[in-house]
Structure 1
């Protein structure tokens, strides 16, 4: 049942020593990034964390970072708008396409086929070749894949970062891509190579894993609240509608097709806001989006 409440207050806490101070040596940076990844792995194993939603939320942040790397910064709200109301045949624009690539990359279990869906302009054999380029421990392999893709496509940092995060997920035995590198790497880091790039990846993963742990804990708390109010919702199709908020970063009322009408969907979303279970994300009076 979707309304069963998991205990979010028992999530393992990130040890303070992981984030205390600034590591100075490459060995210590590597140690801390490994510790942060290990803790993130524990958090991802908790049922209280809505993992699909966590990946979707991090995909939005990764897209925001990638668009900034390309010199045309867009806020998360603008990226949401670029894709939320697309109709068949509409163009989302360059920034929207980057966001769609990240969304598709995290939606399905990581595979060459799934990554080809996220990056339709790239041949599947080329994707497989890049993913096989890296060797060694997870972060070293990730940096190698990142460098290989950037060498071939220097103007496509989003492509390189998606495939590098895919390599990291495969190395760690994760079923899905979890956006991390884009959250922590700076634009200047993408011009580095070899040992300097590996060190930058360790630093980025350390910062991003800490952020992902915090985001996971926050979403677990918000998801618990949504599940708590679920039994109070009497509308026909309410359970299916609530489920959408647990897997999607932003929900337009018109997409809640299990409810009777668009008007009923809008009232349903407003009811969830009144109950403190979801937030209105746009600040607009029309074309609103909601999320936990």
Structure 2
């Protein structure tokens, strides 16, 4: 699959302006589904090339969405709010629990440039050599390669659904030439899809990627607007360390005040000030143990 590169920014138009025929057409034939998924990935590819898109923040938000899907596949009840708590309210020495560990795997996989070494850090239960072998199991076009890697990992480790999906996204990312893993497949697949094999699994991956790529474009548009507003209000912040704090908000889905490079009280005041300015949102609805994000 070869992606066209824009010759001018105006070619993209609105970030969220993904062609309606991609989402409105109910493709049934395998070749039509594959065509639509390729078109959706092509549009996402162009969006990811834009300098104004907060790439790290987008990947972290998509990692949360992928983790939520994987936790649901395993039959656990945790959703986005609980996963954020499990990851961002950890104290030194605490264990994140199974759901929190799944979320951490996805976040670690998406935060560093893609490599076998980075994937091994993200997936502590997999050896680098085994990861390389699984990635080599895929060949052909990007989605076919991803489906083959997904099948290979699940055949060797049937209970490792989250690592299998991480590595499938890694294979897709490699094939598309993206520098960082972009979590897509998990959120687009259904639990029953993970039991499919061969052509049926490839078709499910194509179908799932249509919806997940469209959602990634929508998230990119939303986060780009929010990031622009956050950067615009940054000069109004007088707290020492406010600039570094803003950079953290531009890279993480959720932030606890304790993660900011300010004293506790100053960090909480800064978060409240950013909420007043409409630059970030309080994500929990609680009076204590709050989390904030763009």
Verify: 1:274 aligned to 2:284, yes or no: no
d(CA) in 1 for partners of 2:16, 2:76? 38
Verify: 1:264 aligned to 2:266, yes or no: yes
Verify: 1:284 aligned to 2:286, yes or no: yes
Verify: 1:25 aligned to 2:41, yes or no: no
Verify: 1:116 aligned to 2:120, yes or no: yes
d(CA) in 2 for partners of 1:24, 1:119? 36
Write out aligned runs for 1:132-211 (5 A): 132-211=136-215
Residue 61 of structure 1: which of 58, 65, 89 is its match? 65
**Superimposed CA distance per residue, residues 192-230 of structure 1 (whole angstroms, 9 cap, x where no aligned partner):** 000000000000111100000000000001111111111
Unaligned runs of 5+ in 1: 1-6
d(CA) in 2 for partners of 1:142, 1:225? 36
Aligned length: 284
SS in 1 for 2:39: helix
Q: CA deviation at 1:141?
A: 0.6
Check conservation: 2:108, 2:122, Cα contact below 8 A: yes
Verify: 1:102 aligned to 2:106, yes or no: yes
d(CA) in 2 for partners of 1:171, 1:184? 19
In the superposition, the TM-score normalised over structure 2's length comes to 0.94
d(CA) in 2 for partners of 1:11, 1:81? 31
- The match for 1:39 is 43
In the superposition, the TM-score normalised over structure 1's length comes to 0.95
Q: CA deviation at 1:73?
A: 2.7
Runs of at least 4 residues off by over 4 Å:
7-10
Which segment is superposed worse, 13-22 or 264-273? 13-22
- The match for 1:225 is 229
- The match for 2:5 is none
Q: CA deviation at 1:156?
A: 1.4
Which segment is superposed worse, 143-152 or 81-90? 81-90
**Superimposed CA distance per residue, residues 245-282 of structure 1 (whole angstroms, 9 cap, x where no aligned partner):** 0000111111111x2x1101100000000000000001
CA root-mean-square deviation: 1.3
